[in-house]
Structure 1
């Protein structure tokens, strides 16, 4: 683990020197992925990853001032459309995957092929979708590989696209607290830790991110601005999150159905383009900047897209609200939708 963290730190410093977007996450993610796939001994640690998610969740919650909260509530309809879009896009992705791999995965029973492609295409968290896939008899290694690859491609592609676009610093007028006050930081850290611990005890998805985010949101929406998060702590959190993503790409991952991975990669880029078009339409309807809507509706992970918005200062509260609401909706609806969709195809049940 020490070897992995040292490599990740060197990659982050190199990306800072190269002026890449979100260097403290992109550098560790890319180098750890490559080194892991080459078979070198890399390792992440769940407690370290949880700590990184805790810090990022608290940092994002600081953006939800009362004024921003009122704006988010006023755009509830746009968030709802984003949820419908994500569910529909996932269904379409699953239908396409199934049609492409019907022959190549012909050894699978029809019901297992359906569940594998369905849960591999749902735009949700990798761990949660893999657990649901296992419950319904899917090929979990294909589901996990599909989500890992999608998140990697989105996390790397979109920040560089934003840098090429030249958009940044849309949040400069935000009233978020920018000074570090150690007593306030200690109090905020303690409360957000309790929130994260409580979410974990309740078995919720992404508990360390969501718990810290929700507690800090409540504090900030109440008008309290106790402290900012130190930049070095935010950078360290981004580094360990990048490592936690990178160590998924083992040599076994490289040998996981190459044609399946190629199809997922192609579909991931197609989804990014479709989401960009949807984001432009939503930007016209809401008056928000298109860059904010791109991050809010992109098929990436909630932490990764929110970090991108934070570092580039691209409408952090709206991006976080869109991504959080989509995550919750997908977790609540993806299994009932699976049962409904599968019930329409009785001949394909195993």
Structure 2
């Protein structure tokens, strides 16, 4: 494929990405707009395509995802936090500790290199964890593989639990394919200014993943106070997801794919272990705080916020509690991710330099 012009390769990559994303979206698969381009990128990389995504596009995608995370933080989240903050903070801390424990076990007894295990087992925020991982020396390809394998399993399990407890599955929301070119100009300009601030922050070497963290923190504060209004039209999200998906997918090699497939058994064991531990936290909520079983399970589920939200709304459980706890955990995981990864690696007795070298081999 390397003898075909870059323009033709890009055109074919875009077409395949759209087809895969549409198929995954039709099947209600989580993060379809990211996974479609990523899978297409993997296919092209394995065929020898001579394509690569500029790093500035990847940084811009990080900034957009930061705005997306900020958008989940709302006044309703603050109200729920004010009402149940001791309980929520305890559960969030437990889930983060569980993720660190599973990552530590995967590093010590598995075959994953370096802090890739720590980032890949972070419970929640799959897109954010994937976008941040490379800035801290992890193998972004394996982190993406681990995160979305877990999301897939968790969402299937959560849907099954909802069906078993209530006798029906959550109905997926109506799909809209409008590109959103009619988005209001002022909120769009404010959002793009946040994205620009994130891109500028990425130049600061003292702030790894600043492209994601600056829009996330600034956007959450300003948007929740009504000072600005973050808007993310579909075309902007599509561009960000495609850039991130291609950036990851085009880095894959035959050796990486073979290694990822060989690691599936240990990744499945890690996923089910994390789910069991989070299930213990759900039992605590149910037994000690009187939260109904389904709300407790969904609130502590280590899956994606968007997919859990769909199941929660369709199941008729305490949606406010579920979304508040999931949102706060998402923020906590993103902020604590670097510290937890370093701590896990230090406990395992491996230097950061050695882990980065291992991840790049």
What TM-score do the two structures reach when normalised by structure 1? 0.67
The structure-2 alpha-carbon separation of the partners of 1:282 and 1:97, relative to structure 1 and needing over 3 Å to count, comes to same
| Corresponding residue number in structure 2 for 1:277 | 279
Q: Which residue of 1 aligns with 2:192?
A: 189
**1:307 Cα deviation (Å)?**
5.2
Say if 1:67 and 1:121 are closer, same or farther in 2 by CA, change over 3 A: closer
Choose from 309, 321, 328 the match for 2:328. Answer: 321
Give ranges in structure 2 of 5+ residues lacking alignment: 1-8, 123-128, 163-168, 174-181, 314-318, 351-361
Whether the aligned pair in 2 keeps the contact of 1:25 and 1:238 (CA below 8 Å) is yes
1:104 equivalent in structure 2: none
Gaps of 5+ in 1: 102-112, 135-139, 171-178, 299-304, 344-350
Q: Offset at 1:168?
A: 6.3
The partner residue of 2:93 within 64, 73, 83 is 83
Taking structure 2 as the reference length, the TM-score comes to: 0.66
Q: CA deviation at 1:200?
A: 4.8
Partners of 1:163 and 1:41 in 2: how far apart? Answer: 40
Matched, 1:266 2:263: no
CA distance in 1, matches of 2:132, 2:31: 26
Aligned residue among 107, 117, 121 for 1:120:
117
Q: 1:293 aligns with which of 276, 299, 320?
A: 299
Displacement of 1:57 in angstroms is 2.3
User: Does the C-alpha gap of structure 1 residues 160 and 85 become closer, same or farther in structure 2, counting only changes over 3 Å?
Assistant: closer
The alignment of Structure 1 onto Structure 2 pairs a total of residues equal to: 306
Deviation at 1:186, TM superposition (A): 0.6
- Provide the rounded CA distance (Å) in 2 between the counterparts of 1:205 and 1:80: 28
CA deviation string 1:113-170 (max 9, x = no partner): 9xx56763463546876776x7xxxxx7xx6665343123124434455566534689
Residues 1:252 and 2:248 are matched in the alignment: no
Q: 1:348 maps to which residue?
A: none
Output the aligned Cα RMSD: 4.1
Secondary structure of the equivalent of 2:334? helix
Tell me the residue number matched to 2:223. 220
* Alpha carbons 1:275, 1:294 under 8 Å: kept: no
- Separation in structure 2 between the aligned mates of residue 7 and residue 231 of structure 1, nearest angstrom: 19
